Amino acid sequence: MNVRITGTWWAWAVACLVGWMQVGSTAAMPPNIVWLTVEDMSPWIGPYGDRTVPTPNLDRLAREGVVYDNAFATSPVCAPARSSLITGMFCTRIGTMQMRNGKPSEAAVAKNPAAYRDIPGYEGLPPPFVRCFPEHLRAAGYYCTNNAKKDYQFQNPVTVWDESSSKAHWRNRAAAQPFFAVFNFMGTHESQGFPKAERRPERVAPADVPLPPFYPDTPHVRDAVARTYNNIAAMDRWVGDRIQELNDADLLDTTIVMFFSDHGVGLPRGKRSCFDTGLRVPLIVRYPDGNAAGSRDDRVVSFVDFGPTVLSLAGIDPDPRLDGTPLLGHYARERDDYRRGHAYANADRFDETYDRVRSVSDGRYRYTRHFVTGLPYLVRNAYREQLPMTADLYALEESGPQRPEQWQFAAKQRPAEEFYDSKVDPWEVTNLVDAPEHRKRIDTLRDHLDAWIRDTGDLGFVLPETTLVKEKIWPPDGQQPATPPAEIDEKAELRGDSMVYVVRLSCSDPGASIGYRLGTDKKYSGPWQVYTGPFEVPANRRFIEVQTHRIGHLPTTTGALLGRE
């Protein structure tokens, strides 16, 4: 039986959860934490009531964990959303809202070689106190791996991951070392519906798939939806394999597992759209002791909360200046401002095409504002056009809707405001913005959205992007600055009959992460270590390499020979 839990009950449950981390007065091993992230997927899975294809492994995860009914991405496209996941900050605050800001779309350039003529390449720039959250875990002794997508809209410092590759795995940690491991499944990505993509085993035929009411019933549409579901079935097997790995290593009973997707479904009007189909994501959390197993949580949670929550579960107090709030663990807390119970999202440039949408949901009601109204709902995007169904949707602009629910695809421009009841109208096709019975709700959400835009200093309004780069990211001339080099201070001391060097590192930029590695010569080996304070170096490992890197600036590497006069 599923039990729905609320904030008050959950606070008590969290207190019970952290109890397993203590044995008497002696601290027990911190929990391992695993993220199973999948790409471009709405909650079209069994735990959310969709039985189109079997998802037995996710069903089991839900029975053994907590299902979140109101989890939302901060953007309906991957790179901006992932920048929020890794930093705990809204992408509109740190300049990562444009998709992408550092690498032109090959599809867009192939269609129009001049597509990026006026679009500069740059990186996001968080405030100095922000670090990619795995760096804090590494500083606390965790082994952190990423397998393997990053796409953060900036180059990550070397201090973030012990390993980040297609071979990265928690198995490579030191004995008994706690770990945080990310595994990413690409098989549900939008591109997996392109004609040349692998076709996975058919678990549902195109003729048998349920179609959202806003789609026309065409062979291309049915094929795309069927491929989406068949990819979900393959993803479920992948989830089972990752869980089995933990079980085989006797680690499932000491590991917190979080399953979620990076935004909504990778089909038109999902990905790149500020509707529930683009922003609402599945989230399931399984605890090692069965805490709250089989329950549901209806709190509104956002991607900015995920990193702070991992830190809290690991016993680390997240910086209160972060946009995100820890939901679970020892430092779980509730916000006391306008953001409590609300999820905010943005949609800006998608590859070469500009848009600007801001949206807020309280879990049931969604208010959306279009700042560019002279566009169709389906903005032109060369990458998405590789899906054959896209042409069928474009055609509705000329032919008109086949059903009333398709009015958005047929519209050649948008209203300035929209308001939807996603409980009564889960596909969000009935715009209630002029309904008098909702006037108070609309006014409240409108005020919340205005407050969010002001509070974050929304950089999506700083256009053109050349101005954004010159005035906000890399002032005054738009040239990327280098992080100041490390200052290396050493002191030789005797330890018994041996001499060591006590090394202190610093950087004049308070936003800089500092990583180091040692060697017996200049051929350094092993992962970069996170500098947390003075450390000792044996006299036979006198070579040290230090890298300073503030996110958004160029890293600077310094080498030194300790003890050299």
The answer, yes or no, to whether residue 26 has pLDDT greater than 90, is: no
- Domain ranges in the chain are 3-105+119-471, 487-561
- What is the CATH T-level fold of the domain 487-561, as seen in this structure? Immunoglobulin-like (2.60.40)
Strand partners, 369: 358, 417
Residues 521/543, Cβ–Cβ less than 8 Å: yes
The answer, yes or no, to whether residue 384 has pLDDT greater than 90, is: yes
The answer, yes or no, to whether residue 218 has pLDDT greater than 70, is: yes
- Report H helices in 485-541: none
pLDDT digit string, tens, across residues 44-65: 999 999 999 999 999 999 999 9
The answer, yes or no, to whether residue 3 has pLDDT greater than 80, is: no
The answer, yes or no, to whether residue 338 has pLDDT greater than 50, is: yes
- The pLDDT score that the predictor gives to residue 65 is 98
- The pLDDT score that the predictor gives to residue 15 is 40
pLDDT digit string, tens, across residues 275-286: 999 999 999 999
Nearest-5° angle of CA 261, CA 94, CA 308? 50
Query: How crowded is residue 127: how many other Cβ atoms within 10 Å of its Cβ?
Result: 15
Residues 59/47, Cβ–Cβ less than 8 Å: yes
- The residue-averaged pLDDT of 93-107 equals 95
For domain 3-105+119-471, say whether CATH 3.40.50.970 is its number: no
Place of tokens 């018994």: 496
- The pLDDT score that the predictor gives to residue 203 is 98
Confidence of residue 16 (pLDDT cuts 50, 70, 90): very low
The answer, yes or no, to whether residue 1 has pLDDT greater than 60, is: no
What's the chain's average pLDDT? 94
- The pLDDT score that the predictor gives to residue 22 is 36
- The pLDDT score that the predictor gives to residue 23 is 31
What six digits make up the tokens of 125? 């720039």
- The residue-averaged pLDDT of 525-533 equals 92
The answer, yes or no, to whether residue 5 has pLDDT greater than 50, is: no
The answer, yes or no, to whether residue 17 has pLDDT greater than 50, is: no
Q: Which of 16, 78, 132, 144 is catalytic?
A: 78
- The residue-averaged pLDDT of 194-206 equals 97
Q: What are phi and psi of 405, to 5 degrees?
A: -65, -10
Residues 299/72, Cβ–Cβ less than 8 Å: no
The upper half-sphere exposure of residue 508, i.e. CA atoms within 13 Å in the direction of its Cβ, equals 6
Confidence of residue 565 (pLDDT cuts 50, 70, 90): low
| Peptide bond preceding 555 in cis form (omega within 30 of 0) | no
The answer, yes or no, to whether residue 222 has pLDDT greater than 80, is: yes
- Report H helices in 29-96: 56-64, 78-87, 91-94
Q: Is 537 helix (H, G, I), strand (E, B) or coil?
A: strand
Distances (CA, A) of 436 to 357, 443, 450: 24, 11, 21
What six digits make up the tokens of 231? 């990819």
- The residue-averaged pLDDT of 323-335 equals 96
- Catalytic, 78? Answer yes
Residues 279/42, Cβ–Cβ less than 8 Å: no
Confidence of residue 537 (pLDDT cuts 50, 70, 90): very high
Confidence of residue 506 (pLDDT cuts 50, 70, 90): very high
pLDDT digit string, tens, across residues 227-242: 999 999 999 999 999 9
State the pTM of this model: 0.94
- The residue-averaged pLDDT of 150-159 equals 98
Query: How crowded is residue 563: how many other Cβ atoms within 10 Å of its Cβ?
Result: 12
3-state helix, strand and coil shares in percent for the chain, rounded to the nearest 5: 30, 25, 50
Percentage of the chain with pLDDT > 70?
Answer: 95
- The residue-averaged pLDDT of 411-429 equals 97
Element containing residue 368 per DSSP (H, E):
strand 365-370
Strand partners, 32: 255
